[in-house]
Amino acid sequence: MEYFYQRVICKLYRIRQSIIGCLCTIYMRFKCWIWGVKLGNCSKFIGNMIIFRCPGSSIVIGDNCKFVSTSYGNFRGINHRCIFQTNTSNAKIRIGHNCGFSGVSLVCSESVIIGDDCLIGANVVIGDRDDHSDVYHTPYKPVEIKSGTWIGMNVCILKGVTIGHNTIIGANSVVTKSIPDNVIAAGNPCRVIKQR
Ligand SMILES: CC(C)(COP(=O)(O)OP(=O)(O)OC[C@H]1O[C@@H](n2cnc3c(N)ncnc32)[C@H](O)[C@@H]1OP(=O)(O)O)[C@@H](O)C(=O)NCCC(=O)NCCS
């Protein structure tokens, strides 16, 4: 009896999730349109993502991507909503097809490019600048995450980093230098720990 009851609860939870997901996707499609974000087909949103696009800059998202901005959509826990921000007029964010994001923060002054089939875990922060540039001025350096990459939760990817194809970055890593294709890398600073 208890098992049956729990199955009903799970089923209702999933139905609730589907309804919330549909409503969020409709709302976020409208929000992307308002902010001039080019959004591909069949992308899904759970929760209300934050978008800020500086006039003149571009944010282009491929087909079939998923953006989770609440812990209902990722049981590892989302510390904040997905955030995409460009803050110069020539900044460009490019997201490929079939990517998944949970509470990712992506800030761009020049270029942040993410390939196809990338999974970006909960609370990952990616930026091509250091911010607080009035305190310590450092240059912008483009970031590229190539196709087939899996980034673990709470990873911080700093300016100038390229992450190679099919590479995995372990949870809580701080990536300060580029990482090659087909490896598993982790730690602070992030280093290759094995080949895939
Ligand atoms: C990177 C990862 C996939 C590696 O898994 P694995 O291949 O089973 O690796 P192992 O557990 O054999 O660890 C190999 C070595 O790397 C170290 N290591 C593994 N993950 C690490 C991490 N995140 N940070 C630092 N070191 C790590 C281990 O301590 C071990 O070191 P040792 O050889 O000195 O003992 C896994 O540890 C990980 O971080 N997964 C991410 C989970 C996640 O974030 N999911 C997203 C949810 S939203």
* Cα 67 to averaged position of ligand 1 atoms, centre (Å): 24
Instruction: Note the pLDDT tens digit of each residue in 9-26.
Output: 999 999 998 999 999 999
Ramachandran assignment for 77, one of left (phi > 0), alpha (psi -120 to 50 degrees), beta (any other): left
- Annotated domain spans of the chain: 2-195
Instruction: Say what the alpha-carbon torsion angle 68, 82, 41, 37 is, to the nearest 10 degrees.
Output: 160
CA distance 47 to 68: 6
User: How many whole angstroms separate alpha carbon 172 and alpha carbon 19?
Assistant: 32
- Given a cut of 90, whether residue 139 has pLDDT beyond it is no
Which of 82, 157, 173, 184 is the pocket-test mutation for ligand 1 (most atoms within 8 Å of CB)?
184
The two structure tokens encoding residue 13: 């939870």
Among 128, 125, 171, CA closest to 150: 171
pLDDT band at 138 (very low <50, low <70, confident <90, very high): confident
Q: Which pair of tokens denotes residue 169?
A: 């970055």
Phi, psi of 128 (to 5 degrees): -100, 20
State the amino acid at position 157 in one-letter form.
I
With 70 as the cut, is the pLDDT of residue 115 above it?
Answer: yes
Q: pTM to 2 decimals?
A: 0.92
Look up residue 141 and give its two tokens. Answer: 């350096």
Q: How much is the average pLDDT of 132-146?
A: 84
Q: CATH: 2.160.10.10, 2.40.50.140, 3.40.50.300, 3.20.20.70. Which one for 2-195?
A: 2.160.10.10
User: Measuring from atom 45 of ligand 1, which residue has the nearest CA?
Assistant: 152
The backbone torsions φ and ψ at residue 124, rounded to the nearest 5 degrees and listed phi first, read: -75, 140
